[in-house]
Structure 1
Amino acid sequence: MAELTAEETVRAADKVLHDVGSVWMTHPDTQARGAEHGYPKSLAFYFAGRGGVLGDVDAGVVIAAMGWWHPGLVRLMWDRGVAVAGAREGARRYAKACADWADDHLAGFAQADRLAELAGKVVAGAEEAGLPLFAGWRAEPLADGGPARLLQLVHVLREWRGSVHLVATTAAGLGPLEAILTNEGHQQARFLGWRDELPDCDHLKDRHVRAQEITDRLVADGYERALTPAERAEFADLVRRLGQAVL
């Protein structure tokens, strides 16, 4: 039976999990569901939904938990979003949009229950200290099974790595904009709402490398605790198949 180390699992699975999560969150169907609920902008649904697990908080808490978005954009869209139905209901609607997207787009993914079982082990075993957005999503109820449960767990895993990486970039000495510019660059910074002249951060790229190393090590520790070597190989293979189905 094939086996993988925890580090190999990070390399094989994490980018696919990130990208699959990005697809459903940015998909026109998800935006349409937000509009049906009365959210004035797709980002209002995104922030009230994704950040709604944090509860009835000031936008500053959401800015801190999400990390790299421009603070002014977060505050504007969070306030607009929670005005529709509140934070906790926003999170419930966002989770339902995730489940509905999976039912619509992943109905033919035959390995959904098995991948959800393995993903659930990782989610349950992950350390949540210092990771409020991950902790909030892990506490949310899951669909009973099938693609809906799987995609919700993929979303939680994405929040896990993202939250760990936010901690790691801070530990490496990178501010939010610096973390973006040393990684995905100017185009991503514009997407995340940064409109002013962007600084040259090439001299900080070694800090980004350090942050990625910290992130990979902490996530690998989670895979090491939660899954056997054979389960890690199976998990990575099923994530690869999920990526083929979605991406």
Structure 2
Amino acid sequence: MTIPSSLLSAGRRCQRVLEGIHVFTYFTPETAREFAAFGVEDGHARYFAERAGAMGRVGAGAVTAAFHVFKHELVARHVPVAWERVTPEEAVTARLRACDAALRRIFGDEAVASPEIAEAAELALRAAEAGERASRPLYAAQADQPVPDAPHLALWHAATMLREHRGGGHLAALAGAGLDPVEALVSHAAGREGSALSRRLLRTRGWSAEELEGGARRLRERGLFTADGTLTPAGAALRRDVEEATDRLDAGPWEHLGPEGTERLTELAEGLAARIAAAGGSPTGAPRATGGSAES
């Protein structure tokens, strides 16, 4: 069955808004304090433990595979060393405690129990339950976690599932387009026109300047990149094709939720995400799903 393009684009837009509700936990002081209590203070170590915790005590190879664009040597410096300080189970609960504290700080104790947040949580969970586990280890691991009772935490949980679901499809689309991790990063950054976020993506994934230039050279050889570091029309078309393929692979949750539910969830999430961003919950350097999909 062909899914209408209007629903695919609506799903991408909804996911982009929900990203602001998911991603903020990586950058709140509450998260830093929770992990510092276990002796995990390095930013990379905290990120790997926080995001990979739901998968259990996996090794560096599994994290590299699931996270895709981080250099394996960078991952291996922190995993499994991080598990000597914080267990995966502790990382999962610490992440949830930090989310609870941060959302209560941003919205207030009464607001986190508002009908709007409860409605958004119900809609997001309905979408998230229709995701596919196959080839999506981060989504599958998050889906195996119990749904929190509190609506604001249930909303974050569902937003995280949806983020990882789209991300898993995005990695498949990148592979289908013949883009290796470095080429994916470089072409993504070029598509963002040199934004501060893009520069941080290039700096923090562990690749050397020579390796990044090697990726740019390979893209130039394919006619996708110009000498001055921008996408050619063919390169821009390839990145559009990747996003459209990601939309199709991510269609299940939005088809299940339906056009009206997707529109309503987007409406509710926009206001919540805007308040989180205004409170500093989505800094420019966040490793987030900009442009619709994650170069995580």
TM-score by length of 1: 0.89
Q: Given the alignment, which residue of 215, 220, 244 partners 1:213?
A: 244
Structure 2, unmatched stretches of 5+, are 191-197, 225-234, 278-296
Partner of 2:164: 159
- Once the two structures are TM-superposed, the CA of residue 116 in structure 1 deviates from its matched residue by 0.6
- Once the two structures are TM-superposed, the CA of residue 235 in structure 1 deviates from its matched residue by 1.2
Q: Distance in 2 between matches of 1:11 and 1:125?
A: 16
Question: What is the percent sequence identity of the aligned residues?
Answer: 28
| Cα deviation code 1:157-195 (max 9, x no counterpart) | 111111211121112111111111111246122122223
Q: What does 1:222-237 align with in structure 2 at a 5 Å threshold?
A: 222-224=253-255, 226-237=256-267
Q: Secondary structure of the residue that 2:146 maps to in structure 1?
A: coil
- Once the two structures are TM-superposed, the CA of residue 17 in structure 1 deviates from its matched residue by 2.0
Q: Distance in 2 between matches of 1:64 and 1:181?
A: 18
Does residue 177 (structure 1) correspond to residue 182 (structure 2)? The answer is yes
Q: Distance in 2 between matches of 1:93 and 1:77?
A: 18
Q: Distance in 2 between matches of 1:96 and 1:138?
A: 18
Q: Given the alignment, which residue of 189, 192, 195 partners 2:202?
A: 189
Partner of 2:16: 15
Q: Check the 8 A contact 1:54/1:62 in 2, yes or no.
A: no
Q: Secondary structure of the residue that 2:23 maps to in structure 1?
A: helix
Report the CA distance shift for 1:101/1:156 in structure 2 as closer, same or farther (over 3 A): farther
Q: Distance in 1 between matches of 2:78 and 2:106?
A: 28
Q: Distance in 1 between matches of 2:155 and 2:253?
A: 19
**Mean Cα displacement is larger for which, 150-159 or 89-98?**
89-98
Q: Check the 8 A contact 1:52/1:88 in 2, yes or no.
A: yes
Match of 2:240, as an amino acid? V
Q: Check the 8 A contact 1:99/1:149 in 2, yes or no.
A: no
TM-score by length of 2: 0.75
How many residue pairs get aligned? The number is 243
Match of 1:193, as an amino acid? G
Structure 1, unmatched stretches of 5+, are none
- Once the two structures are TM-superposed, the CA of residue 132 in structure 1 deviates from its matched residue by 0.6
- Once the two structures are TM-superposed, the CA of residue 142 in structure 1 deviates from its matched residue by 2.5
Q: What does 1:62-211 align with in structure 2 at a 5 Å threshold?
A: 62-107=63-108, 108=111, 110=114, 111-185=116-190, 187=199, 188-197=201-210, 198-199=212-213, 200=216, 201=219, 203-204=223-224, 205=235, 206-211=237-242
Match of 1:67, as an amino acid? H
- Once the two structures are TM-superposed, the CA of residue 5 in structure 1 deviates from its matched residue by 4.2
**Mean Cα displacement is larger for which, 21-30 or 111-120?**
21-30
Q: Secondary structure of the residue that 2:40 maps to in structure 1?
A: coil
Q: Check the 8 A contact 2:13/2:266 in 1, yes or no.
A: yes
**Mean Cα displacement is larger for which, 112-121 or 16-25?**
16-25
Q: Distance in 2 between matches of 1:209 and 1:168?
A: 11
Larger radius of gyration: 2
Q: Distance in 2 between matches of 1:71 and 1:141?
A: 30
Q: Given the alignment, which residue of 264, 270, 274 partners 1:244?
A: 274
Q: Check the 8 A contact 1:103/1:148 in 2, yes or no.
A: no
Report the CA distance shift for 1:123/1:149 in structure 2 as closer, same or farther (over 3 A): same
Q: Distance in 2 between matches of 1:140 and 1:99?
A: 16
Q: Distance in 1 between matches of 2:76 and 2:102?
A: 27
Partner of 2:30: 29
Q: Check the 8 A contact 2:40/2:86 in 1, yes or no.
A: no
RMSD between superposed Cα atoms in Å: 2.1
